[in-house]
Structure 1
């Protein structure tokens, strides 16, 4: 346990979009993803919404993966693995609500065990494994979440009453948004959004806006500021001693899991070099003392 200097590191974005049905979550997520990568072919969308992802194929040649029931945490994890193996830059999970409340989701799994409080001890780790898979993904992740729908009678500009649909509570386990870089709530069928969580400071307490590709570009500009993993890799390759590797490993605590294999590989390389140098020194010393040994034998 020790204090370290706070440094800004480059990160992969973890973004959330929530809203009631018809508020434009899928469309907004696709525009957001394009702003992040600027290449449709580098986007993959995990579709749990009965093929809704293909409705916007006119936008570009993005990839789709249809995920059908049962919506267990493990099947979501498998879908993320498939997308990562395709080396996409952005993965959209549309939506994660099924993992919680869908057919085969956590609520149903809990009910099948008996629905008792202690039964969560078996379900919670499975759900947490899904959350951890999102947080540790090598790609940028955008999740969409359904919101429960409520209706009110509001007056329009002419004073006439009309029924207005609102999104209320997110349909996923409480607290998910605290894991995200930013979480946007789509508040009406005009696709207006507001930030309910924003670590970037770009959107919090700002006027409502419509999410588009520019939103993604702004987030990427924020994301690319700071120390990158590639820069750390270059530093590792420049280390010439084991002590230097130890100091570098301690310097970046938030990257230690990712750089540990590189540190070990560099250490093994340096060990090989040291072994070769020791062997050469032994040969040189043997050659230096060889004449004295020969003369001794001759005497």
Structure 2
């Protein structure tokens, strides 16, 4: 059940939050440069073309996303980026999946209006699984993911350095589902004033207490932290090979089912593709066992039963006994 904790290599899940003008897209591209130097960068652009304003900064590909901003459409593009072999995917912005046209809140309003009771709480039962699927896709996809999220905007008065006050734009909570920040490795708030970044959550511990301007070096530091430890893909391949060999030696279905339960911890460490491969291998092994058992049963049933000795009647028995006695007398 328990095993020794080991640091494993991982893919980044980074959220950049801030009000308009805080430099979210620009910072995301710089960080992506450092994360995958010379690698392939993709950007989902929900900002009506603004994602291409920094094409002179670095090489990257853009996938424009127009309304409706449903979770399903995000999922489709995220999976396409993974299949195309991109190293980093920037989702700019994830807030549209929540408040945009066709986003989760819009879907919820329509589900509420369509219900007979008009019960908004009941409508969440229909909408929440779709948002959860988007979150699961972001977490599980096999590439680095950097998302930008708009924040609710407020203004504060600060000293202007001349004895007076000036208003500055400040960001509040991200425009997304409450608690969304818990899903990320690192969450950074960006300010409009000088684009200063502050980590509000950081599992890497690289930015604790730091106030900094994101650069490619930020991405490089994250890359070094993420690649320290065991390679989960290579480790998964080795584990898969051993598990397949072990499962192949099993000769009965009950034994195979017991084997699966007893190896649940190792199976849980496999990558999703390798887990799917093992599941298919075990299903094929189960089928082979059942087919072998069925053939053995059919072969047993097809055997001709041995002919029972013919029972003689009383007269035949006496006649046979007389012949036997005669033979014995002549010896």
Could you list the runs of 5+ residues in structure 2 that have no partner in the other structure? 114-119, 250-258, 287-331
CA shift for structure 1 position 238 = 6.5
Higher gyration radius (CA): 2
Partner of 2:45: 47
CA distance 1:253–1:240, change in 2 (3 Å): closer
The answer to whether residue 157 in structure 2 is matched with residue 159 in structure 1 is: no
Whether the 8 Å CA contact 1:242–1:270 is kept in 2: the answer is no
CA distance 1:242–1:82, change in 2 (3 Å): same
TM-score, L = length of structure 2: 0.74
2: distance between equivalents of 1:190 and 1:139?
Answer: 30
Cα RMSD of the aligned pairs, angstroms, is: 2.5
2: distance between equivalents of 1:102 and 1:44?
Answer: 21
1: distance between equivalents of 2:283 and 2:134?
Answer: 34
CA shift for structure 1 position 61 = 2.1
Partner of 1:253: 268
* Deviation per residue, 1:204-224 (Å, 9 max, x gap): 2x2200111111111111111
Q: Which moved more, 1:6-15 or 1:124-133?
A: 6-15
CA shift for structure 1 position 188 = 2.7
Per the alignment, in what secondary structure is the counterpart of residue 235 of structure 2?
A: helix
Partner of 1:68: 66
2: distance between equivalents of 1:137 and 1:238?
Answer: 25
Whether the 8 Å CA contact 1:36–1:220 is kept in 2: the answer is yes
CA distance 1:269–1:225, change in 2 (3 Å): farther
Could you list the runs of 5+ residues in structure 1 that have no partner in the other structure? 272-299
Whether the 8 Å CA contact 2:244–2:281 is kept in 1: the answer is no
CA shift for structure 1 position 5 = 1.8
The answer to whether residue 215 in structure 2 is matched with residue 215 in structure 1 is: no
TM-score, L = length of structure 1: 0.82
CA distance 1:153–1:127, change in 2 (3 Å): same
Partner of 1:182: 186
Partner of 1:230: 234
2: distance between equivalents of 1:72 and 1:102?
Answer: 9
Per the alignment, in what secondary structure is the counterpart of residue 58 of structure 1?
A: coil
1: distance between equivalents of 2:68 and 2:275?
Answer: 36
* Deviation per residue, 1:185-233 (Å, 9 max, x gap): 10233110010111111112x2200111111111111111122112332
2: distance between equivalents of 1:160 and 1:44?
Answer: 45
CA distance 1:58–1:269, change in 2 (3 Å): same
CA shift for structure 1 position 119 = 0.7
1: distance between equivalents of 2:266 and 2:248?
Answer: 11
Pairing partner for 1:107 from 97, 105, 124: 105
1: distance between equivalents of 2:244 and 2:122?
Answer: 53
